[in-house]
Amino acid sequence: MSPARPNRPRVVVVGAGRLGGALALALAAKRWPVRVLARSEESRRRILELRLKPATESDVAQARVCLLCVPDKAVPVVAEEVKTRMARGAALVHCAGALSLEALGAPRGRVLGSFHPLVAVSDPRDSLAGNSVAVSTRSHWLREVLERMAKDAGLRALRVPEKHRAAYHAGAVLSAGGVVAALSAAVDAFRVAGISEEDALAALLPLTRSALRGVEARGLAAGYTGPIARGDSGVVATHLAALPPEAADVYRPLSRRGLQLVGHRLSPEARTALGKMLE
């Protein structure tokens, strides 16, 4: 019988950017044996500034898990480079949302996985706690390790099938960048009313947060508010007449989506009127 593997195996994080730094700090805080591999002198300086431990060649050779926190386009190249320095049987894991396990190259007996935190990290000192992470691997052992890693970092683990990775990542982008893009159209609408971008964001961001709290408390359909939810086609008509064309092009599809959410609560007449107006 082979010896039991440790719950917190040796980890090397490749990349000392925002995500690499945040993951290394989160794991180190829970006493994981983690080292960070610098790929440049600037990276080494950041590692030391964060009071993390730089990885030596010996650390890479002894690591049981290697996390690639590098730009998506660099994953295949860095994976091939690091593989030659790792022990046989060690796991290679990328942290890219859109890439499949194939981006890590042919397994050739190596354990492969992905660990993609669903959080916008703008500084390595940002906490990851309270968010989710998408986990994918064909290895039972590595899945247990990655889910333990998620738990210790305060992340909720989601198992994402490889064949549906693109759909998962598109949903993640819509919930982050998509919301920001919608906010930019809202700022354009406020600009028509003579309100500056600074004042618009000061007013709209708390409104957005209140809407998200409603969804968190009551779900999508019950948390959706506004004239579409009330079936008020008159108000929607005035909105479309007042909006700049580019903002109206954002308003229509988002409102159609809202109508799908709450249409069952409206009268047939209201649904029909709104549907025609939003074509």
- Per residue in 215-234, pLDDT (tens digit) is 999 999 999 999 999 999 99
* Range list of H helices, the chain: 18-29, 41-49, 57-62, 75-83, 140-152, 165-192, 197-218, 220-223, 227-230, 233-242, 245-262, 268-277
- The pairs formed by 71-79 with CB atoms below 8 angstroms and a separation of 24 or more are 72/96, 72/98, 72/99, 72/103, 75/99, 75/103, 75/104, 76/103, 76/104, 76/105, 78/14, 78/39, 79/103, 79/104, 79/105
- Encode burial over 153-185: b for 16+ CB neighbours within 10 A, e otherwise: bebebeebeeeebeebbeebeeeeeeeeebbeb
Q: Is the pLDDT of residue 107 over 80?
A: no
Confidence of residue 5 (pLDDT cuts 50, 70, 90): low
Alpha carbons within 13 angstroms on the beta-carbon side of residue 141 total 17
- Give me the amino acid identity at 76: P
Distance CA 67, CA 29 (A): 17
* Structure tokens that stand for 149 in this block: 């890693």
Q: pLDDT by residue (tens digit) across 156-190?
A: 999 999 899 999 999 999 999 999 999 999 999 99
When pLDDT is averaged across residues 80-96 and rounded to a whole number, the result is: 93
- Residue spans per domain, the chain: 11-160, 167-277
Q: What is the mean pLDDT of the chain?
A: 93
Q: Is the pLDDT of residue 9 over 90?
A: yes
When pLDDT is averaged across residues 136-150 and rounded to a whole number, the result is: 95
Quick one: fold of 11-160?
Rossmann fold (3.40.50)
